[in-house]
Amino acid sequence: MMTPRQRRMTWVALMVAGVSLAAFFALTAFQKNLLYFYTPSQVASGEAPKGYPFRIGGLVVKDSVKREPDSLTVRFEVSDGPNAVPVLYTGILPDLFREGQGIIAVGQIDDGGTFQATEVLAKHDENYMPPEVAESLKKNGGLPADYSEYRKK
């Protein structure tokens, strides 16, 4: 039989073991899976990392969406007002992807300055804008005039 003291020590030992195990997994996994968010202006000024994935967000520039014939590759530009970044994506775009809509793309920037997206996210509500995108647009002056209506409508 264990005395209360031994039992407490078992507790503590198990706790410490569990927490450190989790911390180890968490930290290693964290390192690999943290995705930073950059605006097109930050990308234009060279702040975004090369050769490392990150997220970019902005409005899809009007008339910029071009499809390659016979494949699922799409090119378009995302902009936060002053700057736009070309994006290349192969796959099926989300239902709410359209020109003028706020989106977030996940991927890497290549040597030519094109963002190679592995994932494109557009939100379910057509009026919804990802908070990161709304904020960066506000900062860079690219927010559509009717944005205050976006949430209430």
Give the span between the Cα atoms of 8 and 14, in whole angstroms. Answer: 10
Give the span between the Cα atoms of 147 and 133, in whole angstroms. Answer: 12
- Residue 128, annotated ligand binder? yes
Q: Which residues bind other proteins (CB under 8 A)?
A: 1-4, 7, 10-11, 14-15, 18-19, 21-22, 25-26, 28-30, 32-37, 55, 67, 69-72, 91-93, 95-96, 104, 121, 123-128, 130-132, 151, 153
- Residue 36, annotated ligand binder? no
Question: Minimum CB separation from other proteins for residue 33, in Å?
Answer: 4
Give the span between the Cα atoms of 103 and 100, in whole angstroms. Answer: 9
Torsion of CA 64, 35, 90, 104, to 10 degrees: -40
Question: Minimum CB separation from other proteins for residue 15, in Å?
Answer: 6
Binding site, annotated residues: 124, 128
Binding site, annotated residues for heme: 124, 128
